[in-house]
Amino acid sequence: MKLRNLLLYITAFTLAAVNSSCKDDEEKDTPDPRIRRVIFSQLGSNVEFIVNDTEAKIYNYDSLTHGSRVDSLYPSIYAYSDNKIAIQYSYDGINYIDFRNTVAMDFTKPVKLISTNTDNNSKKEYTLEVRVHKYDVDAFQWTNAGTISGLEETILSQKSIMHNDLMWQFYQTSGTCKVITSKDGVQWQSRTVDAPETLELSTLCNIDDSLFVQGKSGAIYAANFTALQFNKFEAITSGQLLYTLNKQIWMLDGRDIKSYSKSGEIKVTQPVHDEFAVDTVRPFTAPSGNTILGYLYAKKGEKAEIWGADRYGNMECLTNTSAGLPYMDKAITFALSNSTLGILGGISADGKYSATCYTSNNSGLTWAIDQHKDLSNTVGALADAGLFQTKDKGEFLLIGGQTANGQSNQVWTLRLKKLLLDEAFLNKLK
């Protein structure tokens, strides 16, 4: 099954499970005033409404995103029996009796409904509520966490790697390669990395304790976290280093995508997709469901394509240039635990630094601007910053980065407001 089709299948299966019928759905022969199901087509099929007959309440299972418009909605209401039910409600000072709602209703407050079975005139009153998050729980909360000495230098490239519960921030200047490490994001230690040439640290990746990186000359080098001494990795002689996936080193070599073991044994050779013809590639790996995929954020003309590659080297275009996703040089990529991917900041084709965040909540199939997670006026536009996920899946540490005014040495913590609100609630209970 193709990678794109697999992602679509997973999404469709999830929606089908949400909307699957139960025994009550099949009861058609008994006159009954109860409401069986409520759907708002304007909200999308994945917004599930619960009908609680005991409390006579109807409400959505998950609150809608903060700021969602609910002041002009048309609910579709379904009964248990074949006999029609009339829905009586009061709106704008007028009483309506309808077999299907034909009036746009304001759900900024709960609405009272009376369901009447026209066969036996039995009635049941409900409160229908469309719940919206009071707070912007999907937004990032930015907090300045100080500065790091040494990051004021002009940095050519950098890379963040988590290893053995330590944050490793590698950075290459015009004269040397260094790494700073921290366990808590507060206290940092600096070390010099031994390398035979200037390294392109955007390619840096690891398999367990082994590190791999590509130099400016194109040569591949290997080291370990203990010695931090890079030596030429003779087994790989050509290609662009992409990432490590499934404990293998992946290379884009001409019209082939190849993988090698960390000892240099070639494992996979696959021709790239016929339509894969791009100018620049910024690769990363991220969770997708129960697996990990390789992603290629690729420049094609003035726009971007998103390609996915599995552990066998099978490639599929997930988002093509017609989607309008821009290519941002040195953009920061991230992933959340719910298959949400992010492209943050970067430098546009006209040389401007960006504060914009693009996210995909379906493993890269579609993308949109996400104002909840942009860099905000507090942090400002930047590119090529270090990014770590710390403590839990909703907290990040942003380190340094390039700005229009030069190199930044600032450290920022990013936390989903939902987690901050949850913590505040739990602390209140203590």
Lookup result for tokens 């005014």? 405
In a domain, 234, yes or no: yes
Per-residue tokens: 34: 């109860």
Largest CA distance in the chain: 88
Pair 251, 285 in one domain: no
The whole domain housing 407 covers: 135-150+275-430
Q: Is residue 228 a contact partner of residue 238, using CB atoms and an 8 Å limit?
A: no
CA neighbours closer than 13 Å in the CB half-sphere of residue 311: 11
Distance CA 406, CA 6 (A): 43
Residue 15 has a pLDDT of 39
Same-domain status, 336 and 403: yes
Output the CA torsion 250→360→394→163 (10° steps): 0
Measured between alpha carbons, how far is 426 from 430 in angstroms, rounded to an integer? Answer: 7
Same domain, yes or no: 234 and 295: no
Number of domains in the chain: 3
Instruction: Give me the pLDDT at residue 103, please.
Output: 67
Asked if residue 86 and residue 201 are part of one domain, the reply reads: no
Say whether 167 sits in a helix, a strand or coil.
Answer: strand
Q: How many CB atoms lie within 10 A of CB 119?
A: 15
Which among 242, 271, 300 is the end of a domain?
271
141 with 287, same domain? yes
Does 303 map to a domain? yes
- Write out the two tokens for 382: 């930047």
**Would you say residue 67 lies in a domain?**
yes
CATH number, domain with residue 69? 2.60.40.2340
DSSP 92: T
For residues 241 and 285, membership in a common domain is answered with no
Q: Look at residue 158 and tell me if it is in a domain.
A: no
Residue indicated by tokens 């021709």: 271
378 neighbors 142 (Cβ within 8 angstroms):
yes
DSSP 273: P
pLDDT at 100: 58
For 10, which DSSP code? Answer: H
Tokens 């099949």, residue located: 26
- Contact criterion met (CB below 8 Å) for 353 and 345: yes
Q: Are residues 58 and 108 in the same domain?
A: yes
pLDDT score recorded for residue 308? 94
Residue 12 falls inside a structural domain: no
pLDDT of residue 23: 45
Of 271, 292, 318, the residue at which a domain comes to its end is 271
d(CA 45, CA 30): 28
**Residue finishing a domain among 271, 287, 304:** 271
Which residues of the chain have a pLDDT value below 70? 1-31, 81-103, 137-138, 337-338, 391-394, 417-430
Considering the domain architecture, whether residues 143 and 252 belong to the same structural domain is answered as: no
* CATH classification of the domain holding 253: 2.120.10.60
Residues 140 and 286 in one domain: yes
State how far the alpha carbon of 57 is from the alpha carbons of 53, 86, 129, 130, in Å: 7, 17, 8, 11
Residues 6 or more apart from 69 whose CB is under 8 A from it?
A: none
Between vectors from CA 126 to CA 124 and to CA 131, what angle results, nearest 5°?
Answer: 165
Q: What is the pLDDT of residues 42-56, one digit of tens each?
A: 887 778 999 999 999
Q: What share of the chain is helix, strand, coil (3-state, %, to 5)?
A: 10, 45, 40
What confidence score (pLDDT) does residue 411 get?
92
Q: What's residue 8's pLDDT?
A: 41
H/E/C letters for each residue in 325-359? CECCECCEEEECCCCCEEEECCECCCCCECCCEEE
**What are the backbone angles phi and psi of residue 429, rounded to the nearest 5°?**
-75, -20
Determine the pLDDT at residue 376.
Answer: 79
**Distance (Å, rounded) from C-alpha 213 to C-alpha 233?**
9
Cα distance between residue 397 and residue 180, in whole Å = 14
Dihedral, 174, 388, 341, 62 alpha carbons, nearest 10: -160
